[in-house]
Amino acid sequence: MSILMISLGGALGASSRFLVSSFFNNYSILSFTLGTLVVNIIGCFFIGFYISEVSEVITENIKNFLIIGFLGSFTTFSAFTKESLELYQTFGIINSFLFILLTVLLCLSATYLGYKIS
């Protein structure tokens, strides 16, 4: 049952990541990929929320679905590193560094905020 829940969550998370990321990238006026940044902030917030006391009141299957499956595939470090490299190659070190800095600071803050809110 665990594998099924993780797989189902993963499929929905990856699809959601694509849709949310594409939406923000299509409407961004910035010189970096806003979609990955937004997806990572949202995902980090909810991971923080669910790893707090909330995780004690939800079933193992729901944890597998939400945390490992959905949020694990919704936020991806591989997309972050790929886009950081592409920014460096296209726009230079400053834009790449800004994207990396914003991603790390805002995602850590979102995780902490999600944890504290729950």
In which residue are the tokens 């917030």 written?
A: 45
**pLDDT tens across 38-49, in order?**
999 999 898 888
Tokens of 86: 């592409």
Stretch 19-30: mean pLDDT, rounded? 87
Residue 83's pLDDT is 85
Tell me the C-alpha to C-alpha distance, in Å, between residue 33 and each of 62, 96, 99, 100, 103: 31, 10, 8, 11, 11
pLDDT > 90 in the chain, percent: 55
Q: What is the mean pLDDT of the chain?
A: 89
Q: How far is CA 17 from CA 40, 57, 112, in A?
A: 9, 26, 21
> What tokens were used for 34?
């806003």
pLDDT score recorded for residue 13? 96
75 pLDDT exceeds 80?
Answer: yes
| pLDDT recorded at residue 114 | 93
Instruction: Inform me whether the pLDDT recorded for 85 exceeds 90.
Output: no
Rounded Cα gap, residues 40 and 86, in angstroms: 18
